[in-house]
Amino acid sequence: MAVLALASGCAREPSGLPEGGPIVIIVVDTLRADGLGFHGYRHATSASLDEWAGRGAVFEHAFSTAPWTLPSVGSLLTGRYPANHGSGRREVALPEGGTRNEFVGLDAAAPRLAARLSEHGYATAAFVTNSFLWPGFGLDQGFDSYDFSRSKFRDQRAADVMVDQALAWIDARAPAAPWFLLLHLLDPHLPYDPPPAVAGRLTAGYHGTLATPIEPALVRKVNGGELELEPADQAFLRGVYDEEVAFVSAQLARFLDGLAARKVLERGLVLLTADHGEEFLDHGRLEHGHTLYQELLRIPFVVWGHGVRPGRRAEPVSLVDVMPTLLEALGLARREDLDGVSLWPALGGGGAPGPRRLYAENSLYGEPRRALVEWPFKLIASGDPARFELYDLEHDPTERVNLAAARPEVTAALTTALLQRAQPVHARAAVELDQETQNELRSIGYLGGSSSGDDDGD
Ligand SMILES: [Zn+2]
């Protein structure tokens, strides 16, 4: 196994980063891990990034904590699962019938990675593009500077622009002054509208009726059963998404080149990850937010930098591990109640954290869903009362065969563990959305509740 080969080399003594070593976290919205060359994808989406991956620690089985942005980025920035940082969606019944979504922001009392780093003397900055990263949801807490833009519909900043902004911000730091930068790129998210540099690269042979930009309305029609796509149309949809991935990958490689030129990798740490993936009819629908299958939960997770031993790691990891890892790397006490474990020893080539349970919860559409991973098994609970599905991710990575009946002992143990956890009920008040955020979320179709084409029969 890759992990054994890696672990058998000489692991470095666990010492920390050099004092004040810079920290970079890059999140690519809607980037499924298996759509990247270094995770085995058959199309050329990430050539220069694949080369970079060869120089980093690549975690093969990295999990998001939710299939949509707000709760998953919340986990990244707090070290807690959505139930414990308190942010997510709830569905409320309308007096006239039907439902709509309400959103709850991060608990102000939840830990904040940026605040801890700031306390330690770090300048902290975020460049983010996504309506769910609107400061009103509380993700900006702890950042000195939080440069936010909404979505791809209006003031979109594409990856090339954001990489330039990030490098300019780094160049404006005083030499040796410590800093933390969060960069959140939205390019692969709907609408799929690949820029000229990549448009047609993977879709040139298509002669059907679809054309870019692919808007959310088309996706809602497919998910609602009003529109059936021919195989060629399906391939075109995936192709234009892949072209967006190719664009963002090239920009990421450029960013990593820029970081290397500035010696960031010698003294600091750089993490590349995603908030969730994207479905292309893997389980019958498109987009994300609606299930907890692997096309939505499995994310890239690659680390470069000081003391990082390049190679492939097989232990399952989660976005909740990021904050504990960085605290340990910087020699900072873990004084908050965090859900994750430190991967710092693993990054140096040391042993895996040992058997553990990872969770995902809170969907953006339809019925409540929760999942628990105890490698290689994954239990998914849907609805209330819950229906349970069990998968063996080692032998069935795309979750085709539900083993819930065939493996009753595993199902029972994981069901008990999942049900013992605190319910992800967000008891606090919903966030008052400003008009612009409301308009944005409505235009993408994110304010609807049960009208979004879910199959839960409510
Ligand atoms: Zn997202």
Tens-digit pLDDT profile for residues 272-321: 999 999 999 999 999 999 999 999 999 999 999 999 999 999 999 999 99
Contact by Cβ (8 Å): 199, 243:
yes
Tokens 């960013």 identify what position?
Answer: 255
Contact by Cβ (8 Å): 304, 56:
yes
Distance CA(68)–CA(385), nearest Å, equals 23
**Weakest mean pLDDT among 192-196, 225-229, 350-354, 397-401:** 350-354
Query: Does residue 427 carry a pLDDT above 50?
Result: yes
User: Looking at residue 258, what is its pLDDT?
Assistant: 98
CA angle (324, 351, 25) in 5-degree steps: 35
Residue 194 CA to ligand 1 centre (angstroms): 18
Q: What is the dihedral of CA 373, 421, 72, 433, to 10 degrees?
A: 150
Residue 363 in tokens: 């969907």
Residue 150 CA to ligand 1 centre (angstroms): 12
pLDDT, average across residues 173-178: 92
Q: Which residues pair with 179 in a beta bridge?
A: 123
Residue 353 CA to ligand 1 centre (angstroms): 28
Element at 381 (helix H, strand E): strand 377-382
Residue 35 CA to ligand 1 centre (angstroms): 16
| Complete domains list, the chain, with CATH | 2-6+19-356 (3.40.720.10)
Rounded to two decimals, what is the model's pTM? 0.94
pLDDT band at 423 (very low <50, low <70, confident <90, very high): low
Residue 318 CA to ligand 1 centre (angstroms): 16
Residue 379 in tokens: 């239990």
Distance CA(204)–CA(222), nearest Å, equals 23
Residue 131 CA to ligand 1 centre (angstroms): 9
Torsion angles phi and psi, residue 183, rounded to 5:
-125, 120
Contact by Cβ (8 Å): 181, 118:
no
Residue 241 CA to ligand 1 centre (angstroms): 14
User: Looking at residue 2, what is its pLDDT?
Assistant: 40
Q: What is the dihedral of CA 28, 32, 34, 37, to 10 degrees?
A: -30
pLDDT band at 8 (very low <50, low <70, confident <90, very high): very low
Enumerate residues 6+ apart whose C-beta is below 8 A from 409.
none
Distance CA(166)–CA(127), nearest Å, equals 7
Q: How far is CA 214 from the centre of its chain?
A: 22
Q: Which residues pair with 124 in a beta bridge?
A: 180
Residue 69 CA to ligand 1 centre (angstroms): 4
Of 258, 80, 285, nearest to 167 by C-alpha is 258
Longest dimension (CA), the chain: 66
Residue 446 CA to ligand 1 centre (angstroms): 12
User: Looking at residue 351, what is its pLDDT?
Assistant: 84
pLDDT, average across residues 260-276: 97
pLDDT, average across residues 430-435: 90
Residue 50 CA to ligand 1 centre (angstroms): 22
Residue 86 CA to ligand 1 centre (angstroms): 17
Half-sphere exposure of 112 (CA within 13 A, CB side): 19
Residue 265 CA to ligand 1 centre (angstroms): 27
User: Looking at residue 175, what is its pLDDT?
Assistant: 84
Distance CA(31)–CA(288), nearest Å, equals 11
Residue 410 in tokens: 């595993």
Element at 28 (helix H, strand E): strand 23-28
Q: How far is CA 141 from the centre of its chain?
A: 19
Of 305, 71, 268, nearest to 178 by C-alpha is 268
User: Looking at residue 357, what is its pLDDT?
Assistant: 97
Residue 130 CA to ligand 1 centre (angstroms): 7
Residue 213 CA to ligand 1 centre (angstroms): 18
